[in-house]
């Protein structure tokens, strides 16, 4: 497979996955708005904290030993 074909397939799969996720989240918010919104908020906060910790750990200067 060529690189352009691989990247095209990866982009298409990512776009399809994103659409599927967005549709599911929207559907869930319509059915159970409070519960779904709370879970999405908790997931976002946990994800942001994990990203911040990962970036902070990667950017930490090495202490001299």
pLDDT in tens, 20-47: 999 988 888 788 888 888 988 999 999 9
Percent composition of the chain: helix, strand, coil (DSSP 3-state, to 5): 85, 0, 15
Q: What is the pTM of this model?
A: 0.48
Place of tokens 């990203």: 51
Residue 2 confidence (pLDDT):
72
Residue 64 confidence (pLDDT):
61
When mean pLDDT is compared across 18-22, 49-53, 58-62, the lowest value belongs to 58-62
Query: 52 falls in which pLDDT band (50, 70, 90)?
Result: very high
The pair of three-digit structure tokens given for residue 6, joined into one six-digit string: 């691989």
């Amino acid at each position: 497979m060529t690189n352009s074909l691989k990247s095209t397939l990866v982009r298409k799969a990512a776009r399809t996955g994103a659409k599927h996720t967005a549709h599911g989240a929207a559907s869930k918010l319509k059915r159970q708005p409070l519960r779904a919104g709370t879970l999405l908020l908790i997931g976002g906060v946990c994800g942001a904290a994990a990203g911040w910790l990962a970036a902070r750990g990667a950017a930490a200067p090495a202490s001299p030993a």
